[in-house]
Amino acid sequence: LVVSILYVCSKETSDVLVYTVATEQTNGFDRYLDSASEFNIQPKVLGYGLEWKGGQVKSHPGGGWKLKLLKKALEPLAEESNKLVLFTDAYDVIFLGKLDEIVRRFQKTGARILFGAEPYCWPDATLENKYPEVAEGKRFLNSGMFIGYIPDVWKLLTRKEFDDTDDDQLFCTEAYLDEKFREEVQMKLDHKNEIFQNLNGVATEIEISSIEDKEGEGERYFIKNIASRTEPLVIHGNGASKYTLNYLSNYVPNVWNSIEGCRQCKKGHIELETVPPKDVPVVLLSLFIEQNTPFVEEWLEKIHMLEYPKDKIHLFIHNTMKFHVDHVNNFTEKYAKNYVSVKEIVPEDATPEWTARDLSLDHCLAKKCDIYFAVDSVAHIDNPYTLKLLIEQNRTVVAPLLTRPGKAWSNFWGALTKDGFYSRSNDYMDIVHSVKRGLWNVPFIASAYIINSTLLKSRDRTLINFTRPRLDADMAFCSNLRNLDVFMYVSNRVDFGHLINPDNLDITRTEPEMYQIFDNPQDWEERYIHAEYTENFNPDKKELQNDSNFFQPCPDVYWFPIVSPRFCNSLINMMEAFGQWSSGTNTDERLAGGYEAVPTRDIHMNQVGWEPHWLEFLQKYVRPLQEKVFTGYYHDPPKSLMNFVVRYRPDEQPSLRPHHDSSTYTINIALNRRNIDYEGGGCRFIRYNCSVVDTKQGWLLIHPGRLTHFHEGLKVTSGTRYIMISFVDP
C-alpha cells in the first residue's frame, strides 16, 4: 500500500498518454485542440486524414473503429503498467483542467479504468436492469471519455473481437456489466462527474460560475454540476447536447471574460491590410429582397459604402418584389460598373427564395469566390468595415450581430428547443444589448453572414442548402450546418448595423416609408429629420447666443431646421396623390362644427391616414423645441386636432387674411423652396409689423397662436407654395 501511495504522488503527467480520434479538421476538433493547449495537454490524434469507418454515429450505433485505432496505438505499450491512457472523443469534447488534476482525481477513485457516466442506457436500453444501482449520480456508461492504466485498458480492448461499425459504447458497456471483468480491472464509472461530464440530458444541472482571478485580469469561468456539487474537468457534448457544449464553450476554458472580452477572437485572426492586393479574398455579395421592406434605398447605399475593393466583389441580387424593382435598377445603374460582375434575378423570374439562395452558393463557386456574403433587405450594414472585419475574424461562418434598435429582436438564436425552434439562452439579452461583447457560438443565424468558401468546397455541396420541407430557408440552412457540426458564430465585437422591421409596411400608400415612424423610428429619423436638427440643442451654437434674429426672426417667432427635403417632398407627394384639396369656403365638413372662419385650401393629416404619425412627430421632435424657447410650458404629449398641409397658388388661393389661430402655439413648416418653386409668400405678424419671407424648406416657425400673434399669409405671386400647419394645444 505504501509503495502504491508513493507511486501515486510521484506520477508525472508524461506518464499519461492522451488519445483522440479525428478524421477531419472540424470546428469542433479545432476547439478541442485549443482547449487542450490551454492546459498544455498534447493529445495524440488517431485516424486524421483517413476515411471514417465507424458508421453513422450521429444517428445510429457505431464507432467501434475508434477503439480499433486506439487498440492499434496501444499494442506496443500494452505492458507499460505505470502508464495511463486518457481517451476522449474529439469533435464534441473540451478540457477544463490540467492533466495532473485529472490524474489526481482518477487515482482517488481507486479505479484502474474510469468511464464517464450518463443518464441514458444507450444504445441498448434493455441492459438497464443489469446495471448496478447507484445512490447518487448517473448510472450508465458513456464511451466518449475514459481514463485507465494501459494494461487494463488493453485487457478491455482485447476482451472480445469487434468490427469497425460495432458500437463502441455497447462494447464497453458489456465489459462493464460483466461483473467478473469489472472486478478484475477495477472498472468504474464517474457517476458524480468528478472528472467527466457528459452533457446529454443534464443541461439543467450545469451552471457556469466565475471567480475573480488575479486582480485586473478579469474573472475566470468554470463549469459546476449543481446536482453532484462537482466541477468536472472534461466535458462532452454527447448526442443531442452539442449546442449546450457550444454555449458553454463561449466561456470556458478561459475564452471570455468581462475585462479582456473575447480572448478566443484573437485566435486565427488575419489582417487584410497586410495582404497584397492581388490576394485580397474574392467575395460573392448576395443581396436578397424576399419581402417588401422599408428603407431599401438606404440599405443598398450602405451596401455600396462597404469599405472593400469593388474589383474583388461579384454581386448576386435576388429580388422577388415588384415594389423594389426601381430601387434595384437605380442601384445597378449607378454602381454596377464598379463591381467585377452582377447577376440579377428579377421578380418576373419567379425564382423561389430557397432556390435563389442555393443558386447564389453555386454562383459563388462558379466565380471562384473565397468568401460568400449574404445580406437580406432587412439587414442594414451601418458599419462600412463590416465585411472586412468579418473576413479578418477568419471563421467558417460568422454573422454580424444585428438587432431591431431598442428591441430584443436579433438575427441569431442563443439556444434551440428540442424540435429545433427558437429558444433563449441565459446570455441572450446581454449579447443583444452588447453588455457582453465577443464572438458567440450559436445554433441559428440569419439575415447577414459570411461563409468561407472552403466549407462549400470541402463538404458535400448537396448537404449545404436552404431546402427542407416545412422549414423556411434560413432554418433549413442552419439546421444543415448544425448537422455537419459547422459552428455558426455571431459577433458583436463592434456595432455592425441594425435590422429593419418590415411587418407593417403598406405599399398601397403613397410614400410608404413616411408611415414607418413607429416601426422603424431610427431609419425614419435618418431619412426624414433635418441633418441639422440636433444642432438646435447645441448650447455652444454661436447663432443661438449672439444673433437672435437667426432663430427669432420676429418677436416670439422662432425658427428651426426640423425636417429633410425628402420629408417635404414626400409630404407634398402624399397630399397631391390624394388630391382632395378643400374648397377654401367657410363650409368644412371635416370639422366638428362644419364651419371654418378663415379657410385655406388644405388636406388634413387624417385624410391620408397620417394623424397618429404626425402626433408622434409633434411629441418627439417639436415638443422639445417648444420647451426650449417657451420656457415653463410643458404639455406632453402635445395635442392637436388641426394638422394639415396648405396649398397657396395665384390661381387658387394666393394668401390668407389676418387671423388668430385656435392654438396655444402654432407650427408652420415650409415644404418647398422660395424663388425656385414659387415666388412671394411668407407670414406677417401684424402687431410687430414683422414678416418672415425668406422661409427655408424643412424649417419650422413656431409662434403663439392667439392675442399677440395676429398674422396673415402673404401673397404667392407665382408657382405653388406648400406649408404644413398644426394648431397645438387648442
Contact footprint for ligand UDX (CB under 6 A): 20-23, 47, 52, 57-58, 63, 66, 89-92, 142-144, 168-169, 238-239
Q: Which is nearer to ligand UDX, 92 or 511 (CB)?
A: 92
CB of 152 to ligand UDX, least distance (A): 19
Q: Which is nearer to ligand UDX, 371 or 481 (CB)?
A: 481
Among the listed residues 284, 413, 305, the one whose alpha carbon sits nearest the alpha carbon of residue 359: 284
d(CA 363, CA 343): 9
CA angle 132–116–20, rounded 5-degree value: 140
Say if CB 665 and CB 728 are below 8 A apart: yes
Cell of 481: 450546418
Say if CB 489 and CB 399 are below 8 A apart: yes
Q: Which is nearer to ligand UDX, 170 or 723 (CB)?
A: 170
Among the listed residues 234, 231, 230, 225, the one whose alpha carbon sits nearest the alpha carbon of residue 204: 225
Q: How far apart are the first and last CA of the chain?
A: 98
Q: What is the dihedral of CA 105, 108, 109, 111, to 10 degrees?
A: 100
The DSSP secondary structure of 147-214, one letter per residue, reads EEEHHHHHHHHTSS---TTSBHHHHHHHHHH-HHHHHHTTEEEETT-SSEEE-TT-GGGEEEEEEE-S
CB of 36 to ligand UDX, least distance (A): 13
CB of 144 to ligand UDX, least distance (A): 3
Strand order in the sheet with 196-198: 93-95, 234-236, 196-198
Ramachandran assignment for 280, one of left (phi > 0), alpha (psi -120 to 50 degrees), beta (any other): beta
Burial of 216 (0-12, 13-18, 19+ CB in 10 A): exposed
Among the listed residues 534, 504, 498, the one whose alpha carbon sits nearest the alpha carbon of residue 516: 504
Number of H helices, E strands in the chain: 21, 40
Q: Which is nearer to ligand UDX, 161 or 183 (CB)?
A: 161
Cell of 425: 439562452
Q: Which is nearer to ligand UDX, 352 or 420 (CB)?
A: 420
Q: Which is nearer to ligand UDX, 51 or 348 (CB)?
A: 51
Q: Which is nearer to ligand UDX, 235 or 571 (CB)?
A: 235
CB of 169 to ligand UDX, least distance (A): 5
Q: Which is nearer to ligand UDX, 95 or 533 (CB)?
A: 95
Q: Which is nearer to ligand UDX, 137 or 650 (CB)?
A: 137
Q: Which is nearer to ligand UDX, 238 or 663 (CB)?
A: 238
Amino acid at 236: H
d(CA 475, CA 458): 22
d(CA 239, CA 629): 67
CB of 389 to ligand UDX, least distance (A): 31
CB of 241 to ligand UDX, least distance (A): 8
Q: Which is nearer to ligand UDX, 116 or 682 (CB)?
A: 116
Cell of 660: 388668430
CA angle 485–490–492, rounded 5-degree value: 155
CB of 117 to ligand UDX, least distance (A): 12
